[in-house]
Amino acid sequence: EVQLVESGGGLVQPGGSLRLSCAASGFTFSSYAMHWVRQAPGKGLEYVSAISSNGGSTYYANSVKGRFTISRDNSKNTLYLQMGSLRAEDMAVYYCARDYDPNWGVYGYFDLWGRGTLVTVSS
């Protein structure tokens, strides 16, 4: 079955760190760019980060730049998001999503989504 499964969410204190994982199965993971999109409780979708199929190119939204790091291990079919200096406004469900294209950019879009993992930032 073609799917993405996120894990690693949980409760973290402000200023803390957390690493999210997204396990891919049923398709050739190394052929696709991947993304993280988040959704705060009761709010809309917010784009977070992207990584190309070979990991050579990344993108970060201004809201997370310098605090989050996206990476991937194509040998393990897994996408990661290392989150640091967490703030209350980072609290959200984090979705990983597959890009139609090997390189994120103008021609890409999100054709497969995981179910998400909830990150709660609170003291």
Partner 1 sequence: QSVLTQPPSASGTPGQRVTISCSGSSSNIGSNYVYWYQQLPGTAPKLLIYRNNQRPSGVPDRFSGSKSGTSASLAISGLRSEDEADYYCAAWDDSLSGHYVFGTGTKVTVL
What is the smallest separation between the CB atom of 13 and partner 1, expressed in angstroms?
26
Q: Phi/psi zone of residue 81: left (φ > 0), alpha (ψ -120 to 50 degrees), beta?
A: beta
Contacts of partner 1 in 13-42 (CB under 8 A): 35, 37
**In 3D, which of 12, 44, 48 has the Cα closest to residue 122?**
12
Interface residue with partner 1, options 45, 71, 84, 101 (CB under 8 A): 45
Q: Does 100 bind partner 1 (CB under 8 A)?
A: yes
- Binding status of residue 110 toward partner 1 by CB under 8 A: yes
Cα–Cα nearest to 89, from 30, 16, 14: 14
Query: Taking CB under 8 A as the rule, does residue 80 contact partner 1?
Result: no
Of 18, 32, 6, 8, nearest to 114 by C-alpha is 6
- Which of 78, 95, 119, 121 forms a contact with partner 1 (CB under 8 A)? 95
Q: Which of 41, 66, 89, 106 binds partner 1 (CB under 8 A)?
A: 106
Sign of the dihedral through C-alpha 69, 73, 74, 76: negative
Interacting residues with partner 1 (CB under 8 A): 35, 37, 44-47, 50, 59, 61, 95, 97, 100, 105-116
